[in-house]
């Protein structure tokens, strides 16, 4: 039994908390002597769990499978283990990883609703894309909605993104994200603390959220109801001393109530990319986007379009301009890729 094999075994013991597993490694240095019976753990319950573990053949079979899948196992003792994550009290003692592990100091978690609106998805994708272009790694949980949009935005810039799973690394959840899952495995990195075959059980996701918060310097919440799991990530971020931020939304939209509540509780209100950089990444060099030339009509119509969908009729009414003139101006703005159209005559700023 080598040390890594014993750390894997320790990670599998269900009756021991994550914080106790980390403390065991910190206190004893090497856990192999505990499993071999050469040392006793000072906690009788933990000692009994350790000496009763016998499932070594299963671990060996899984290691063979993981090797074929190009999955690496990184323990909390390894140099490649992310430093920010290592420093939280309940850090996982090992990570299963697929892809190119990069988790430097410039990492941001973007989380939010699974039932996100068009505006929320567009916003998450644009923020992730812009931050990724500045060298910031985007961390999220591969869930529907805001998570998926954040990963996609980062990949648009060929940037770095980390997907943290609430199941085994051989399982894609939700299944409809299979293409994104495979792409992140090649261009980013997939991380989980769960062994192969472990299903996405409900209690795994709060545990998964601590890894998302732990990996990141800050947590940004976009669209979250009062019961959203992303609020768990945000509150763990506060507990770990991370910068927690939220984008406010309509008081009449249930999907914004959680984010709005976070702001009331002290999270930083974000209304632009520079707010994120100032609060979380003051050392990042801002690469200004090239100024897009606009004529007077384009500047005016663009000023009427925000990050929430607005109908063409409302734009015409607010502009007090001729309908054909407005439509012509909107077409030019779409060609310049500064606004985006949706079915039904709705528009949003990119």
DSSP string over 80-91: TS-HHHHTSTT-
Cα separation values, 34 from 6, 28, 38, 110, Å: 9, 9, 6, 40
- Smallest CA-to-CA distance from 100 within 192, 215, 191 is with 191
**pLDDT score of 222 more than 80:** yes
Name the least confident of 156-160, 239-243, 302-306. Answer: 156-160
- Smallest CA-to-CA distance from 199 within 229, 163, 164, 171 is with 171
According to DSSP, residue 256 is labeled G
**pLDDT score of 289 more than 70:** no
Whole-number pLDDT of residue 104 = 64
Degrees (nearest 5) of the Cα angle 81, 176, 114? 75
Residue 291 to residue 336: CA distance in whole angstroms: 11
Residue 293 to residue 304: CA distance in whole angstroms: 17
CATH of the structural domain 296-349, one choice from 3.40.50.720, 3.40.1030.10, 1.10.10.10, 1.10.3720.10: 1.10.10.10
Domain ranges of the chain: 1-66, 107-280, 296-349
313 contacts 348 by C-beta, under 8 angstroms:
no
CATH of domain 107-280: 3.40.50.450
230 contacts 111 by C-beta, under 8 angstroms:
yes
Whole-number pLDDT of residue 69 = 93
**pLDDT score of 327 more than 80:** yes
User: What integer best gives the mean pLDDT of the chain?
Assistant: 92
Averaged pLDDT for residues 202-223: 96
13 contacts 52 by C-beta, under 8 angstroms:
no
Whole-number pLDDT of residue 288 = 43
Whole-number pLDDT of residue 42 = 94
**pLDDT score of 336 more than 90:** no
For residue 17, the number of C-alpha atoms closer than 13 Å in the C-beta half-sphere is 6
CA dihedral defined by 149, 155, 159, 162, rounded to 10 degrees? Answer: 60
Averaged pLDDT for residues 310-319: 93
Name the least confident of 70-74, 188-192, 287-291, 314-318. Answer: 287-291
Averaged pLDDT for residues 292-315: 89
- pLDDT tens for 29-75 read 999 999 999 999 999 999 999 999 999 999 999 999 999 999 999 99
- Smallest CA-to-CA distance from 19 within 59, 76, 73 is with 76
**pLDDT score of 329 more than 90:** yes
Q: How confident is the model at residue 285 (pLDDT cuts 50, 70, 90)?
A: low
Averaged pLDDT for residues 189-198: 96
Residue 91 to residue 320: CA distance in whole angstroms: 58
Spatial neighbors of 193 by CB under 8 A, at least 6 apart, are 11, 92, 94, 95, 96, 207, 208, 211
Whole-number pLDDT of residue 141 = 98
Residue 323 to residue 89: CA distance in whole angstroms: 60
- pLDDT tens for 90-124 read 999 999 999 876 656 799 999 999 999 988 999 99
């Amino acid at each position: 039994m080598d040390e890594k094999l014993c750390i894997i075994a320790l990670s599998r013991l269900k009756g021991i908390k994550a914080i106790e597993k980390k403390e065991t490694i910190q206190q004893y240095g090497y856990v192999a002597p505990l499993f071999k019976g050469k040392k006793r753990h000072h906690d009788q319950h933990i000692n009994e769990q350790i000496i009763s573990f016998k499932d070594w053949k299963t671990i060996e079979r899984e290691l063979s499978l993981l090797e074929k899948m190009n999955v690496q196992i990184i323990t909390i003792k390894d140099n490649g283990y992310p430093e920010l994550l290592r420093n939280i009290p309940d850090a996982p003692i090992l990570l299963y990883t697929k892809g190119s592990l990069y988790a430097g100091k410039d990492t941001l978690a973007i989380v939010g609703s699974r039932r996100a609106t068009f505006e929320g998805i567009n916003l998450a994708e644009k923020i992730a894309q812009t931050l990724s272009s500045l060298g910031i790694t985007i961390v999220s949980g591969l869930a529907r909605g805001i998570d998926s949009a954040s990963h996609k935005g980062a990949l648009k810039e060929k940037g770095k993104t980390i997907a943290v799973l609430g199941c085994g690394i051989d399982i894609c959840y939700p299944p409809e994200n299979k293409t994104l899952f495979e792409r992140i495995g090649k261009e980013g990195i997939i991380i989980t603390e769960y062994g192969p075959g472990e299903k996405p059980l409900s209690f795994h996701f709060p545990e998964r959220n601590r890894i998302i918060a732990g990996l990141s310097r800050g947590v940004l919440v976009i669209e979250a109801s009062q019961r959203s799991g992303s609020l768990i990530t945000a509150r763990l971020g506060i507990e770990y001393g991370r910068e927690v931020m939220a984008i406010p939304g309509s008081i009449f939209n249930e999907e914004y109530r959680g984010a709005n509540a976070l702001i009331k509780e002290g999270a930083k209100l974000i209304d632009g990319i520079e707010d994120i950089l100032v609060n979380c990444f003051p050392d990042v060099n801002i690469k200004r986007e090239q100024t897009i030339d606009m004529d007077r009509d384009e500047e005016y119509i663009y000023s009427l379009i925000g990050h929430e969908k607005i109908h063409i009729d409302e734009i015409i009414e607010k502009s007090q301009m001729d309908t054909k003139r407005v439509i012509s101006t909107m077409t030019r703005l779409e060609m310049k890729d500064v606004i985006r159209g949706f079915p039904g005559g709705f528009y949003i700023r990119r």
